[in-house]
Amino acid sequence: MAYLTTQGGQPVLILKEGTGRRRGREAQRNNITAARIIGEVLRSTLGPRGMDKMLIDSLGDITITNDGAAILEEVDVEHPAAKMITEVAKTQDDMVGDGTTTAVVLAGELLKRAEELLDQNIHPLIVVSGFRKGAQKAVETLNKVGTLVDVNDRSTLRKVALTSMGSKAVGAAKEIMADIAIDAVKQISEKRGDNWIADIDNIQITKKEGKSLFDSQLVKGIIIDKEVVHVGMPKKVTKAKIALLDCPLEVEKTEFSAEIRIKDPTQMQAFLDQETRMIQDMVNKIIGSGANVLFCQKGIDDMAQHFLAKKGVLSARRVKQSDMEKLSKATGARMVTNLEDLKLKDLGAAGVVEERKVGDDKMIFVENCKSPHSVAILIRAGLERMVDEAERAMNDALSVVSDVIENNRVVPGGGAIEAEIAKDVREHATTVGGREQLAIEAFAEALEIVPKTLAENAGLEPIDILVSLRAAHEKKKGAAMGVDVFTGKIVNMESSGVIEPMAVKEQAIKSATEASSMILRIDDVIAATKPKEGPGGAPPGGGEDEDY
């Protein structure tokens, strides 16, 4: 029970019965351990020689991936501090789309180093402040090392895309995927003022099993994973005028069961005729607007299909809301909820709308749209899980290309930038002095987890690599030296084409620092229900800090 004791020794109940409480070092240790474990879990996946994880959800569905954000999304984490770390991955994914593993591993390592300092009786706030100073210095180094990239420098964009896919199981198809990613992002990029905007939400990714990754393609338009609804309808319409409907083309059934008494057969016929007339009316409104293609988010009943087919309108039903929105954006059509409202000006335009066979299924391709910015990528691969991982790889490639187009700076990968930051931060620490110096130095060491892990995952001796790496960075022009995970040598990463967007590194360092600082500042955990004994949890029986 959660009591506080007054000075007179009178226990006062202030928290609800069953409330759990952990305080001081114990709370910190528990949080740090839980958060660190998340970093440890992801470590083995970092880099091109990192391994994948197989995740099985409660329904038995399997995901095989190397993507930090995807792994943490599938794993059901319960510990609140560990949850904060999973959010680091999510933020990283939302903001820059790559570097999720790096961010999480870094957060874990920062906490590990912090714990060592706490053990030396250094106050958590001094650690937090040291980390913040380290992160500031890191941003300076990023700006110092980061090189400018021209939006039209295709070869650099390609290297960035290839680096991001280096760790994903897409093998030789990387080259083709990198080209598709660059073409797609360039298509949707636009210049606003002095800045380029490349919002990859405008790129639609459609997946279909069958064939191979090499058959993936870029479509200048939209792909709708639906068939033309009636065999009698045309399979191809040029100069399409597209109507988007949000209401069903059916005679609505009432919610209550109604009874109609019919006395003679003619009444029955009249009743059916009335239904036909209503449907015909609806179809006439569509034809009247001038549409020759119809995408309906709801159902289209048999009779409506028949009438639409007779008039040569290519139609699809039960189209996903997200696809309807994309169609609206791409073709300029306005989504209409009430048929009465459908007018010529609501229709969208596309050069061609055509149903094509993709694998065993049929899909509708809407091409040469009104908006030149709409593109879709069709990903093909032999296995379902492969298609999924290829989609994640493609997403990473699209993200990094758009990061470079928007922020036009790149830094060397392979642990090079982290080693350079560590060097600069270490130098900076000596100018600070005192206990804070220790915290800043710890920050520098934590950053070296990236080259260390890359080496470890490649089966190299991490300590040896780190020693050679530090030596290489001490030399003039050594900033780009990193770990070649295939040969085990320290090489210039820019020359080997391993480069990454600066924005990815900056975001990873910032969010890892933020999350670890947040966890370090907590010294009291009050939970509505008693926390389960987690890793490094309280000894059975509870200590002084357990409950009052």
- Binding of ligand ATP by 47 (CB under 6 A): yes
Q: Which residue has the tokens 């920062």?
A: 110
Work out whether 418 is an interface residue with Mg ion (CB under 5 A). no
Do you know the residue count of the chain?
A: 548
Q: Which amino acid is at 341?
A: D
415, with CB counted inside 10 A (0-12, 13-18, 19+), is buried
Per CB under 6 A, the segment of 14-22, 160-168, 198-206, 539-547 that binds ligand ATP is 160-168
- The DSSP bridge partners found for residue 237 are 353
* Angstrom distance (rounded) from CA 362 to CA 227: 6
Q: In the bound complex, what is the minimum distance in angstroms from residue 124's beta carbon to ligand ATP?
A: 27
Residue from 30, 102, 204, 408 in contact with ligand ATP (CB under 6 A): 102
Q: Which does 48 bind (CB under 5 to 8 A by kind): ligand ATP, Mg ion, none?
A: ligand ATP
Q: Which range, of 52-60, 61-69, 225-233, 423-431, touches ligand ATP by CB under 6 A?
A: 61-69
DSSP-assigned states of every residue in 42-91:
HHTT-STTPPPEEEE-TT--EEEE--HHHHHHHS---SHHHHHHHHHHHH
Question: Given the complex with ligand ATP, which of 424 and 494 has the nearer CB atom?
Answer: 494
Work out whether 457 is an interface residue with ligand ATP (CB under 6 A).
no
Q: Find the shortest distance in angstroms from Cβ 235 to ligand ATP.
A: 40
**Minimum distance from residue 400 beta carbon to ligand ATP (Å):** 9
Residue 188 sits in the site that holds ligand ATP (CB under 6 A): no
Backbone angles phi, psi at 545, to 5 degrees: -85, -10
For this structure, is 5 an active site residue? no
Q: What's the token pair of residue 108?
A: 């874990």
Which is the catalytic residue, given 63, 65, 67, 513? Answer: 67
**Nearest to 510, CA basis, from 207, 200, 41, 137:** 137
Measuring CA to CA, which residue among 283, 305, 286 is closest to residue 347?
A: 286
According to CB under 6 A, which residues from 80 to 99 bind ligand ATP? 98-99
Between 124 and 451, name the residue whose CB sits nearer to Mg ion.
451
Binding pattern to ligand ATP, positions 391-420, x when CB under 6 A? -----x----------------xx------
115 binds Mg ion (CB under 5 A): no
* H-helix or E-strand spanning residue 204: strand 203-209
For ligand ATP, the closer of residues 17 and 201 by Cβ is 201
Rounded Cα distance between 337 and 327, Å, is 15
* Closer CB to Mg ion, 98 or 420, in the complex: 98
Any contact of residue 506 with Mg ion (CB under 5 A)?
Answer: no
User: Among residues 68 and 221, whose Cβ is nearest to ligand ATP?
Assistant: 68
Segment interacting with ligand ATP (CB under 6 A) among 111-119, 222-230, 438-446, 481-489: 481-489
What is the DSSP-derived secondary structure letter of residue 280?
H
CA-to-CA dists, residue 226 to 222, 239, 296, 297, 303, angstroms: 12, 20, 11, 11, 19
E runs forming strands in 387-518: 409-412, 481-483, 490-492, 499-501
- Residue 456 · residue 464 · CB < 8 Å: no
Site pattern 114..153 for ligand ATP (x: CB under 6 A): ----------------------------------------
Contact of residue 466 among Mg ion, ligand ATP, none (CB under 5-8 Å per partner type) = none
Catalogue the active-site residues.
67, 100-101, 396
Binding site for ligand ATP (CB under 6 A): 45-48, 50, 66-69, 98-102, 163, 166-167, 396, 413-414, 450, 454, 483-485, 498, 500
